[in-house]
Amino acid sequence: MTDWWRSAFAAHTGTLVVSVDYRLAPRHRFPAALEDGYAALCWLHLHAVQLGIDVGQISVAGDSAGANLTAALCLCARDLGGPPISGQTLICPALDLTLSSPSMSEKAHAPLLTARAVSAYARHYLGDPALARNPLASPLLAENLSALPPALIQVAEHDPLRDDGWRYAARLRAAGVKVRVTEYAGAPHGLTTFSGLTRLSRHALKEACAASAIIFKQ
């Protein structure tokens, strides 16, 4: 998640935004980053009173690889009995590291992110290719997606990862989870990266702010 998005989201919603400086691959492979995210969530819940946070209104968000961690974090929180998460925002999410989505071939040579690059990043993150089927590495492959937080999923038309978001949305709905998915026409991967260059980035931010007030707080 870029600095401009975090600061703009905080300014528009009046909420406290906590950014996790998690360990990075390939030096620290799966599940190190996820463990750091979960530790941060637990810390935030534990210190909510001191920080003036409503523990019932803690939501999580991420972009690209960060969206992968966000979705996996929601699975961890559900399966480990908390802390509670009120909503999840997944922007251009990588949710299937087996790279099985149709858009991986359809948009293989898309601008800014190619399918070949996605494959390389997945190898760096996992180390062992067999881990791609672990649901905490590929949330889309989780057997059970019920009882997860409401989700806003934003995908870009020209993104090899586009169909990860659509497929995940369909599975969440089938599991009874409230979900909204928006595809940004003409956009490449990195939808929220270029705040000053495209109105699509600003519109995506506006949608995320609205979701925090409407979708996640009902």
Residues designated catalytic = 64, 159, 189
CA angle 15, 139, 64 (to 5 degrees): 55
Q: Can you tell me the distance from the alpha carbon of 202 to that of 8, in angstroms, rounded to the nearest whole number?
A: 9
- Of the candidates 7, 3, 45, 46, the one whose C-alpha atom is nearest the C-alpha of residue 21 is 3
* Beta carbons within 10 angstroms of residue 144's beta carbon: 11
Q: Is the peptide bond before 160 cis (omega within 30 degrees of 0)?
A: no
Q: Is the dihedral of CA 40, 18, 26, 122 positive or negative?
A: positive
The answer to whether 138 and 95 have CB atoms below 8 angstroms apart is: yes
In one-letter notation, the amino acid at residue 119 is: S
Half-sphere exposure (Cβ direction) of 31: Cα atoms closer than 13 Å:
18
Burial of 136 per CB tally in 10 Å (0-12, 13-18, 19+): buried
Q: Can you tell me the distance from the alpha carbon of 208 to that of 111, in angstroms, rounded to the nearest whole number?
A: 24
